[in-house]
Amino acid sequence: MNRRDFLNTTGTLALGLTATPFLTATAADKPPPSASHLPRWRGFNLLEKFTKWENGNPPFQESDFIMMAEWGFDFARLPMSYLCWTDPADWLKLREPELNHVDAAVELGRQHGIHVNLNLHRAPGYCVNPPKEPLDLWKDDKALEACAFHWQHFALRYKGIPNERLSFDLLNEPPAVPEATYVRVVEHLVQAIRLEDPQRLVIADGLKWGNDPIASLAKLGIAQSTRGYYPMQVTHYRASWVHGEGWPEPTWPLKEGNRIIDKQVLRAERIQPWKEIQKQGVGVHVGEWGVFNRTPHAVALAFMRDYLDLWREAGWGWALWNLRGSFGVLDSQREDVNYEDFRGHKLDRRMLEVLRG
């Protein structure tokens, strides 16, 4: 059975919803975003589906959308694991209750003026985080077909939702695979999406964990997403998952041997290569960035100000990892911050004001 037949028997087609999407699509007053020109959307990653929880994942929280909108932000990236809504024994068997949570998040975006960006953080065959997938997306056709099935399902499920409100980010932080290997996978996923919704705005992360733009993807008419985690000695100081416990306490600018990494280095090495891809008609957005809570607060804020200045100059939007948690403006558990009590959370007001500046 091919993907289309499966959707016909198990997805929205079987529910008689081909004429209208799950959510109400409303026209925007301004021209829609395009792959060649993304708005300067700014916001946060929301992590309710980031990884599969033992006892089930909670729905996305409306309070997050309310706060983001009140603070002037307009973008929510939803990094998600396909295991949240999939039977582990059958990657093509979908669980509607979990998918309904995604529906609700898209609707919350509409209600509060927040663009929702769906991302497969764990896709069939690949995730940047452990555990390793049983199949390899870059080599195994079964994994690629399963990944394409999930994106095709989302394309059909949300067909008609305007691009002002919804976009797809295919795969989180692909590794250092050959460019041709990555392009083959992206082409296949884009084809699956466009089979159901030719107009959907699609974004692909850069190679080498989102850091390197991919010129050969420009022909597909999709945007690309970069990262703001360089240098990791600043952003991931004492982070166990990157073995940062033994790194020296960072400063900003950062002295690395005989080299100083500062704003001008970021401009030359992390901005300019992506501006070159823009010249080929590729829109750019920063899908993730932030500073772990062990980096001294003053250092984190100085680093963040420089990146924000550079992205403002470039006209790029961004999504902080995360809203609530160890990189975020809420409940980050930094030891050197005087938090403000805010609606049941601990708010890092100084970081929030830097982001809003």
Q: In sequence order, what are the residues at sequence separation of 6 or more whose Cβ sits closer than 8 angstroms to the Cβ of residue 277?
A: 213, 214, 215, 218, 224, 284
Using an 8 Å Cβ cutoff, are 74 and 114 in contact?
yes
Using an 8 Å Cβ cutoff, are 284 and 38 in contact?
yes
Q: Which token pair is 269?
A: 């090495």
Strand partners, 261: 254
For residue 32, the model assigns a pLDDT of: 80
Whether the ω angle into residue 231 lies within 30 degrees of 0, i.e. cis, is yes
- Confidence class of residue 4 from pLDDT cuts 50, 70 and 90? low
| pLDDT at 5 exceeding the cut of 60 | no
**Measured distance CA(334)–CA(295) in Å, rounded:** 9
Identify the CA nearest to 78 among candidates 48, 52, 99, 103: 48
Tens-place pLDDT, residues 60-116:
999 999 999 999 999 999 999 999 999 878 999 999 999 999 999 999 999 999 999
Tens-place pLDDT, residues 187-210:
999 999 999 999 999 999 999 999
**Measured distance CA(117)–CA(83) in Å, rounded:** 18
What letter does residue 22 receive in the DSSP assignment?
S
Tens-place pLDDT, residues 235-289:
999 999 999 999 999 999 999 999 999 999 999 999 999 999 999 999 999 999 9
Q: How far is CA 229 from the centre of its chain?
A: 14
For residue 252, the model assigns a pLDDT of: 98
Mean pLDDT along residues 292-315: 98
Identify the CA nearest to 38 among candidates 7, 4, 75: 75
CATH superfamily of 38-230+271-323: Glycosidases (3.20.20.80)
Rounded alpha-carbon distances, angstroms, from residue 123 to 57, 91, 262, 299, 356: 17, 10, 35, 34, 33
Identify the CA nearest to 42 among candidates 342, 241, 307: 307
- Confidence class of residue 11 from pLDDT cuts 50, 70 and 90? very low
**Measured distance CA(260)–CA(265) in Å, rounded:** 8
Identify the helix (H) or strand (E) that includes residue 118. strand 115-123
Tens-place pLDDT, residues 217-231:
999 999 999 999 999
Using an 8 Å Cβ cutoff, are 171 and 204 in contact?
yes
**Measured distance CA(78)–CA(261) in Å, rounded:** 31
For residue 27, the model assigns a pLDDT of: 40
Tell which wins on pLDDT, 15 or 197: 197
Gyration radius (Cα) of the chain, Å: 20
Tens-place pLDDT, residues 19-57:
333 343 344 346 689 999 999 999 999 999 999 998 889
Identify the helix (H) or strand (E) that includes residue 223. strand 223-228
Helix (H, G, I), strand (E, B) or coil at 215: helix
Q: Which token pair is 305?
A: 């100000």
Pairing between β-strand 75-81 and β-strand 115-123 as defined by DSSP bridges: parallel
Identify the helix (H) or strand (E) that includes residue 254. strand 254-256
Using an 8 Å Cβ cutoff, are 202 and 225 in contact?
no
Please work out, in degrees rounded to the nearest 5, the angle formed at the alpha carbon of residue 170 by the alpha carbons of 164 and 172.
Answer: 115
- Taking the alpha carbons at both ends of the chain, their separation in whole angstroms is 52
The model's pTM:
0.92
**Measured distance CA(112)–CA(67) in Å, rounded:** 10
**Measured distance CA(75)–CA(25) in Å, rounded:** 18
**Measured distance CA(75)–CA(82) in Å, rounded:** 21
Tens-place pLDDT, residues 127-150:
999 999 999 999 999 999 999 999
**Measured distance CA(352)–CA(14) in Å, rounded:** 45
Using an 8 Å Cβ cutoff, are 142 and 188 in contact?
no
> How many CA atoms lie within 13 Å of 287's alpha carbon, on the beta-carbon side?
29
